[in-house]
């Protein structure tokens, strides 16, 4: 999101027509800065843009996580990994061992 090209909307405008504010955010493919008395209160996003940002954050978290594991493995860090440390969020939250 480019700050310089991001539209502004006042709180009073937002109260009058929230749907119009969301349409504006979607049309511009940016957030809409919500202001009150020349101070920034927040950013209004379309659902599509919010989902896109959350997906990018998730992908970056995985890259950081995998880089950490790769670093430990490449540097022979003598450490026993938990299921969560090795598998991340896909790990079974209640692992148990079979005696088969």
pTM of the model: 0.60
- Distance, in Å, from the CA atom of 22 to the CA atom of 54, rounded to the nearest integer, reads 18
Q: What is the pLDDT of residue 79?
A: 65
Radius of gyration of the chain (CA): 22
pLDDT digits (tens, 9 = 90+) for 10-32: 999 999 999 999 998 888 888 89
Q: What is the pLDDT of residue 5?
A: 73
8 A C-beta contact, residue 54 and residue 61: no
pLDDT digits (tens, 9 = 90+) for 22-81: 998 888 888 899 999 989 999 999 999 999 999 999 999 888 888 887 887 788 766 667
The order of strands in the sheet holding 32-36 is 8-10, 32-36, 39-44
Q: What is the pLDDT of residue 97?
A: 58
Q: What is the pLDDT of residue 94?
A: 72
Residue 59 sits at the vertex; the CA angle it makes with 58 and 61, to the nearest 5 degrees, is: 65
């Amino acid at each position: 999101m480019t700050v310089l090209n991001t539209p502004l909307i006042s709180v009073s405008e937002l109260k009058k027509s929230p749907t119009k504010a969301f349409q504006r955010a979607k049309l511009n493919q940016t957030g809409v800065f919500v202001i009150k008395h020349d101070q920034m209160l927040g950013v209004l996003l379309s659902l599509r843009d919010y989902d896109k940002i959350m997906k990018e954050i998730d992908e970056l978290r995985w890259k950081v996580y995998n880089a950490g594991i790769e670093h430990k493995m490449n540097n022979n860090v003598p450490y026993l990994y938990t299921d969560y440390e090795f598998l991340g969020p896909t790990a079974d939250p209640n692992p148990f061992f079979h005696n088969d």
